[in-house]
Amino acid sequence: MDSSKYDLLFIGSGPGGYVGAIRAAQLGIKVAVVERAELGGVCLNWGCIPTKALLKSAEVVETIRRGKEFGVPTTDFTIDFEGIISRSRAVAKRVSMGVAYLFKKHKIPVIEGTARFLSPHEVAVGDAAGAETHRIEAANTIVATGGRARSIPGIEIDGHTVIGYRQAMTLDKLPESMVVIGAGAIGMEFAYFYNSLGTKITIIEMLDTVLPIEDPEISKVVARVYKKHKMKLLTKHSVSSVVPGPDGVTVTVTDKKGVEKTITGQKALMAIGVRGNIENLGLEEIGINCERSFITVDKSYKTSVDGVFAIGDVIGPPLLAHVASHEAILCVERIAGREPDPMNYDAIPGCTFCHPQVGSVGFSEAAAIEKGFDVKVGRFQFMGVGKAVAAGERDGMVKLIFDGASDRLIGGHIVGPEAAELVGELEIAVAAGLTWKEIGHAIHSHPTLHEAIMEAALDAGGRAIHA
């Protein structure tokens, strides 16, 4: 059994662990990482990256189907589902290899196995059989174990008929029908992917709208487009049972009036959220406080035990890879004795890579009003943007929320073409406190999609040109 000492140990090599380890190495900290699976964690191997590869394939399929619209009629084509899945896995592998290269470049040792705290400053690492292979002493440890799919109590994700996001990325055969339980980002992305390939989709959401954390105006646009693509949306419906059978699955739901109905499909995808990976780490034994599957931390990401920190999905929402990365950097820099500016959790962008795409940052209109802001709202439809019309992407809009007292941007919401890229401008504008005049009077190149942002800003001041 190997025994080593480090200044800092990361448990988990996802977008929090690997980014934080690299930053630690840059600062001259002796750092190591424990990882039980692939480098890069869920995000690079089973989340953000491979799903975007799948969604690109869906986009290609949809473009081919629309070929006649662009003067390139396609009379016949086939979908190689196995090839689509294979490409996604290859993309994930390539990105994971990139993390391995960065670790080698920065001389960061990776200890393979499952970590468990023996004390606040000592961690044992075991192999798949449970045998201890390493014992590590660390002055500080950062838990970055991420999260996994959550299920409805009493309903098991069996990996065959009732599946989670991992199985949804690696099915060996395209299902004829699928019931998607949960209309958040994960559910809506997979619904779009499988619908594009020909699977009959039913989406069930307990809350009032799909993408319930988004501004309702944005969610309504996505719902309208999904219905146009023949997807069935059951909002305000709760799931009471999911029963696998020999030919598929039967899902029983109840609407707001208490009326019960059943939906059948070959597969049911559980996409209701994420729980933190806190089990079998020895957290309770050393006195680390947890609540509802997430580790409790303070503003410096310290746990209830000195020398132990936690970042990323394992500490709870917002459950985003870029949040984990930034939290890791801030945590490492504080351990190194620096005083970095704290993260502004009101200026974190979120993206959903369905079609149309959604990107948002800051407050929704309702949340801003609830916070006491006297809001000023600007809107602009993509149908008024020449580049969007030329690209055949007229669905969607930009909605900007300004503080009426100061004219500062406090919320930005986009649904439409390249929304996940366009929201970057709004992220900077919210963080910098830019006003509608500053955004609207900045020269936006033509013809581009981001002219919609300029027009929405001007609309907030009653000055939109193309409205």
Query: Each residue of 120-136: pLDDT tens digit?
Result: 999 999 998 889 999 99
The reported pLDDT for the residue numbered 443 is: 97
DSSP letters spanning 148-185: EE---TT----SSSEE-HHHHTS-SS--SEEEEE--SH
User: Hey, what are 278's tokens?
Assistant: 């806190």
The reported pLDDT for the residue numbered 237 is: 97
Q: What is the DSSP letter of 302?
A: B
The reported pLDDT for the residue numbered 167 is: 95
pLDDT band at 183 (very low <50, low <70, confident <90, very high): very high
Find all residues with CB under 8 Å of 276, minimum gap 6, and list them.
145, 146, 147, 290, 293, 294, 295, 313, 314, 315, 316
pLDDT band at 371 (very low <50, low <70, confident <90, very high): very high
The reported pLDDT for the residue numbered 247 is: 87
With 80 as the cut, is the pLDDT of residue 2 above it? no
Catalytic annotation, pick one of 160, 229, 441, 446: 446
Q: Give the tens place of pLDDT for each residue, 440-455.
A: 999 999 999 999 999 9
The reported pLDDT for the residue numbered 1 is: 62
In this prediction, residues 55-66 reach a mean pLDDT of: 96
446 is catalytic: yes
The reported pLDDT for the residue numbered 74 is: 87
Give residue for tokens 């149908």.
383
In this prediction, residues 375-394 reach a mean pLDDT of: 97
Q: Do domains 2-149+275-335 and 350-460 have the same CATH topology?
A: no
CATH 3.40.30.10 fits 350-460, yes or no: no
The reported pLDDT for the residue numbered 160 is: 93
In this prediction, residues 418-436 reach a mean pLDDT of: 97
pTM: 0.95
Cα(307)–Cα(291) distance, integer angstroms = 20
pLDDT band at 75 (very low <50, low <70, confident <90, very high): confident
Q: Give the tens place of pLDDT for each residue, 243-288.
A: 998 889 999 999 999 999 999 999 999 999 999 999 999 999 999 9
Closest residue by Cα to residue 80 from 65, 61, 55: 61
Cα(453)–Cα(441) distance, integer angstroms = 11
Find all residues with CB under 8 Å of 12, minimum gap 6, and list them.
33, 34, 35, 41, 143, 144, 145, 146, 277, 312, 314
Domain boundaries, the chain: 2-149+275-335, 162-272, 350-460
Phi and psi at residue 73, to the nearest 5°: -65, 135
User: Hey, what are 450's tokens?
Assistant: 């981001």
Sign of CA dihedral 354, 357, 361, 362: negative
Indicate the CATH number for domain 162-272: 3.50.50.60
The CATH fold of domain 2-149+275-335? FAD/NAD(P)-binding domain (3.50.50)
pLDDT band at 292 (very low <50, low <70, confident <90, very high): very high
pLDDT band at 467 (very low <50, low <70, confident <90, very high): confident
Let me know how long the chain is. 467
Closest residue by Cα to residue 193 from 4, 56, 306: 56
Query: What average pLDDT does the chain have?
Result: 96
11, β-bridge pairs: 34, 143
pLDDT band at 465 (very low <50, low <70, confident <90, very high): very high
The reported pLDDT for the residue numbered 130 is: 86
